[in-house]
Amino acid sequence: RDSLGCELYYTLHGAISTPVPRHVLPGLQKWAPLQLHVFASAGDAVMAEQGYDRLRLWRQERALSGPFASTRAVVGLGLVLDLPLGRLEINLCHVLRSTQADRIKRGVQVGLTHSFT
């Protein structure tokens, strides 16, 4: 197992967001607009040989689970603040699907991302 990375991955993500009215948390919103969002994500990361083996087995047996047997899924809602430094998210997440190897931490998730586009 490669707990630090992978050679193949796939992900599917969908989100709906809406602006939070400016009178809600006005001190915070003077820096950047605040948004509320709901989201769902699914995906997996595997080593190449593991992915090829799953695909080969699926082609031979046409098993229902096939190459996507270990797909993880999560839904959540949260607040998004688009700062000049990046996107700050505070989310409440609920794991829908995981594997025994995953270490699930329930509760609030905070993240800061930067777009390079």
Amino acid letter, residue 75: V
pLDDT value at residue 67:
60
Q: Binning pLDDT at 50, 70 and 90, where does residue 113 land?
A: confident
66 torsion bin: left (phi>0), alpha (psi -120 to 50), beta (else):
left
Tell me which H or E stretch contains 41.
strand 34-46
| pLDDT for residue 49 | 65
Residue 41 region by backbone torsions, left for phi larger than 0, else alpha for psi between -120 and 50, else beta: beta
Q: Percent of the chain beyond pLDDT 90?
A: 26
Domain positions in the chain are: 8-113
The overall average pLDDT reported for the chain is 80
- pLDDT tens digit sequence for 23-60: 777 776 677 788 999 999 999 877 666 656 666 665 66
DSSP state of 65: S
Count CB neighbours of 87 within 10 A.
15
